[in-house]
Amino acid sequence: MSRKLIGIDLDGTTLNEKSQVSERTRRILQAVQNEGHIISIITGRSARLSTDIYDTLGLKSPMINFNGALGHKPHQVWDREYSHQISRDIALDLLEIAPEMNIERVVAENKDSVWASPGKVSANLDDIEQMFFPTREAGPQMLDRLSLNADINAILLEAASPLHQTQIKRFVMDRYGEDQVTVKTWGGESPVLEVAPAGVSKTTGLDYLRHIYQIDKQDIYAFGDEMNDLEMIQWADHGIVMANGNPELKAVSDDVTDLPNTQDGMARYIAKMLHMDID
């Protein structure tokens, strides 16, 4: 059997309802990796919010963070590492105009650091979303002109409500231009927008890995559940959406798992696909 490149989203895909890796999923993915296949986390999460999951899974492949903006190997120097960035000036400009644009909080982040504007944890965010908007007590540096001394991979904006998202998205694109940034909303009722480097998506990372490992496109699988997975689901020859996934994403997928993330749907699908006798 030819070697497969398998890109896996985290939240709603690899992780269960407790945002954890189940023992079955860990065991299956390690067995798949031991068979010589490449399993790569491709997530919107930052490195700080996904490296422990990478370690739990025991992966050896590169990890793709910030929805494709950063590709690296945790805990080591990798000579093929890449990083697509946004100018720090854009983050600082957004911080300045946030009050008049109904933006509650601004977070800027790269591989090594996170900067957050002042503010308390919002009741509008669920437990997972709150991790992306850390309080000062959680360790981020204050987002201001003195501390933000580097370009970043992603900027997160918490809108005052989901009703403001369209207005903010249009404003950001008009102000900075599509040659500088792209803006995406999170799924469901989340009031969060992500400002990313122009032209970058999860496909950026998956295609980069395809070239590095010289994998035929027919041997590429992508698993996801939400609309930030759209590009890689459409691009991969085998774009598979979770049973618990967004209906719009399912409509453009090649297949849907039989079981949701709460029942190891992704790992079971992979084991069945590779004819592995694991349970």
Rounded mean pLDDT, 203-230: 97
The arithmetic mean of pLDDT across residues 254-258, rounded, is: 98
195-205: average pLDDT: 97
Q: What is the pLDDT of residues 9-63, one digit of tens each?
A: 999 999 999 999 999 999 999 999 999 999 999 999 999 999 999 999 999 999 9
Above 80 in pLDDT, residue 69?
yes
Architecture label for domain 5-83+200-273:
3-Layer(aba) Sandwich (3.40)
| Whole-number pLDDT of residue 137 | 47
CB 266 within 8 A of CB 21: no
Q: How confident is the model at residue 140 (pLDDT cuts 50, 70, 90)?
A: low
Per domain, the residue ranges of the chain are 5-83+200-273, 88-197
Which amino acid type is present at position 22?
Answer: S
Predicted confidence at residue 1, as pLDDT, reads: 76
CA atoms within 13 Å, Cβ hemisphere of 71:
22
Q: What is the rounded average pLDDT of the residues 242-251?
A: 96
CB of 32 within 8 A of CB of 6? yes
Q: Tell me the C-alpha to C-alpha distance, in Å, between residue 101 and each of 107, 120, 170.
A: 15, 18, 11
SS3 183: strand
Assess if CATH 1.10.150.530 describes domain 88-197: no
| pLDDT band at 188; cut points 50, 70, 90 | low
- pLDDT (0 to 100) of residue 141: 86
Q: Are 42 and 170 in contact (CB under 8 A)?
A: no
Other Cβ atoms within 10 Å of 262 Cβ, number? 15
CA 72 from centre of chain:
14
Average pLDDT of the residues of the chain = 93
Asked whether the beta carbons of 133 and 156 are under 8 A apart, the reply is yes
Residue 94 exposure: Cα atoms within 13 Å on the Cβ side: 34
| Lowest-confidence pick of 12-26, 55-69, 138-152, 164-178 | 138-152
